[in-house]
Amino acid sequence: MPHNRDYSMSITNFSHCSMSKNNFFIIVLSIFVISFSSTFYYGANDVFGKTNNINDNKNDENPEKFKLNVGINLINIKDQNPQIFKLIAFINGEIQSKIIDLKKNATISKDSKIITPFYFDTSNDISEINVGDEYFVCGYVLKNDDNNNTNQKSNGVNSSSNAQLMPYDCNEGGIVSTTKDSIGLFSTMNKFIESSSIYQARSKTSTLADINNKEVKITLLNPLDAKKIKDLDNVQFTAMVKGEYQIKKININDEIKKNKIKDTLKVPFVFNSNTDIGPIQTGDYYFGCITANDYWSKEHSECEKRFIQHLDKSNDLPVAH
């Protein structure tokens, strides 16, 4: 290289003490170039190494998103020949839905399982994902492989309104990493079996008003002495039933003063009883969640769940505690 050749010549001249001004300038310039090049080379590798170490602990597909892998176990519902699923996932005040068609957009493993990812923002205008946050997922069979939909396949449960229950499952978890987590559905059918039992028992005593009811009410109850709830001004409440969800943002301080609340903040939701999965009925599983960044140091989201018991009055669900 030209710099190395000049540098060698300059050293030779220097050793014989016959250095000119031009040669001296060449020596200084060569030393500077070599030093700068070495520093840049090792410095750049050091920076890239640190960046890679950071990314090793994050979601490789999208470092700015929280990845939730949802697994569907098809073994327990193979007798129903499911074809299309509706999935609902809630994390950190955000709720998402996804349609899975086994014939079009699903890869089934050898052990009859499907893994599908959801991606959530790690923070939003309400909160940021925190270790300990509670979350939930639900999966509903929308359609069977024999092209019978939710209003045709009975699955052994009938009603006078010809509305039948299709297989579903819900699960909940607590976040253990702020980058990713995984959760499974249909590993058991316990919730669906209990829903069917409640539905069958109530259908025997259902009135015409129950059958023709167009609305289902859910009220989230939040005692003011729960955690830091009285001090919150930016809170989000979420309710979900049978794949349908609603969100309400509330300034609790203002709400307490405006309505002179003394003990319990009640957050009401009204759902249309007709859904794309079928009508909301007694026995349907539902969730309620509260989300706020300052709700509690150990969790920013807290969720509770129950079975729908009433079609003629509100179904109350204590959430904050």
Report the candidate in 307, 308, 305, 309 with the shortest Cα–Cα distance to residue 319. 305
199 vs 210: CA distance, rounded Å: 12
Q: How far is CA 284 from the centre of its chain?
A: 21
pTM: 0.75
Check if the beta carbon of residue 188 is closer than 8 Å to that of residue 76.
yes
Check if the beta carbon of residue 250 is closer than 8 Å to that of residue 235.
yes
The structural domains of the chain, with segments of one domain joined by +, span: 2-55, 65-318
According to the model, what pLDDT value does residue 226 have? 84
Burial category of 57 from C-beta neighbours within 10 Å (exposed 0-12, middle 13-18, buried 19 and up): exposed
In the block, residue with structure tokens 């490789």: 60
Beta bridge partners of 94: 91
Kindly indicate the confidence band of residue 253, based on its pLDDT and cuts at 50, 70 and 90: confident
According to the model, what pLDDT value does residue 61 have? 65
Q: Residue length, the chain?
A: 321
Instruction: Read off the pLDDT of each residue in 160-183 and give the average, rounded to a whole number.
Output: 84
Kindly indicate the confidence band of residue 204, based on its pLDDT and cuts at 50, 70 and 90: confident
Kindly indicate the confidence band of residue 257, based on its pLDDT and cuts at 50, 70 and 90: confident
Share of residues in the chain with pLDDT > 70 (%): 74
Beta bridge partners of 5: none
pLDDT in tens, 6-26: 433 333 333 333 444 455 455
Pick the range with the lowest mean pLDDT from 32-41, 42-51, 126-135, 273-282: 42-51
According to the model, what pLDDT value does residue 215 have? 95
Per the prediction, the chain carries an average pLDDT of 79
SS3 25: helix
Helix, strand, coil percent content, the chain, rounded in steps of 5: 25, 35, 35
According to the model, what pLDDT value does residue 23 have? 55
SS3 254: helix
